[in-house]
């Protein structure tokens, strides 16, 4: 059971991270759901539409529509599954990789400007140290399955 202090910090951190994430996503020029699909394909490689749907926790029909839009824009390609002729794999195209990097660059650029504009030098130092701590929390070694 966490201490009341840790629980308070956890709640405040979750709220602040949610607000910051939503604000950074406002910089996107591609809809968030499509950026998420491009990001998964970049990180994990080619996948079936069903696997993408499961990864993103959406219905397969919704993912099929998203993949269709990405195909129309040339951001992904489709190829035959190597072992199952009934399936196809969706993968990031070169144009998709460029678009994803541009989205990531816009997000990081906005955040860098906000850090410079809103935070003092000492606050920036605290934030830099905090980023490493948040990475450690995200890794969550030994906490899997605990509630």
Residue 131 lies in a domain: yes
**Is 39 contained in some domain?**
yes
Helices 32-44 and 60-72: angle between axes, nearest 10 degrees: 90
Q: How many domains does the chain have?
A: 1
Q: pTM of the entire structure?
A: 0.77
Whether residue 146 lies inside any domain: the answer is: no
Containing domain of residue 125, as a range?
A: 4-139
The confidence score (pLDDT) of residue 144 equals 60
Q: Is residue 124 part of a domain?
A: yes
Q: What is the DSSP letter of 57?
A: T
Sign of the CA dihedral running 66, 69, 73, 74: positive
Looking up residue 44, the CATH number of its domain turns out to be: 1.10.10.10
**Residue 147 included in any domain:** no
63 in any annotated domain: yes
pLDDT at 25: 87
d(CA 109, CA 100): 14
* The predicted structure's pLDDT at residue 127: 96
The runs of H, that is alpha helices, within the chain are: 4-25, 32-44, 49-56, 60-72, 94-118, 121-139
Helix-helix angle 121-139:94-118, to 10 degrees: 130
Position 85 in a domain: yes
**pLDDT tens track, the chain, 147 positions:** 889 999 999 999 999 999 999 999 888 889 989 999 999 999 999 999 999 999 999 999 999 999 999 999 999 999 999 999 899 999 999 999 999 999 999 999 999 999 999 999 999 999 999 999 999 998 987 666 555
In a domain, 145, yes or no: no
């Amino acid at each position: 059971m966490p201490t009341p202090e840790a629980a308070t910090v956890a709640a405040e951190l979750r709220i602040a991270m949610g607000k910051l994430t939503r604000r950074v996503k406002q910089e996107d020029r591609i809809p968030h759901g499509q950026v998420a699909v491009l990001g998964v394909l970049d990180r994990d490689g080619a996948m079936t539409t069903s696997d993408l749907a499961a990864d993103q926790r959406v219905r397969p029909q919704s993912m099929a529509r998203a993949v269709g839009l990405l195909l129309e824009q040339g951001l992904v390609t489709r190829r035959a599954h190597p072992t199952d002729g009934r399936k196809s794999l969706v993968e990031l195209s070169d144009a998709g990789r460029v678009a994803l990097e541009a989205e990531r660059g816009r997000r990081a650029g906005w955040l860098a400007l906000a850090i410079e504009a809103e935070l003092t030098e000492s606050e920036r130092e605290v934030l830099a140290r905090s980023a490493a701590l948040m990475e450690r929390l995200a890794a969550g070694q030994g906490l899997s399955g605990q509630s």
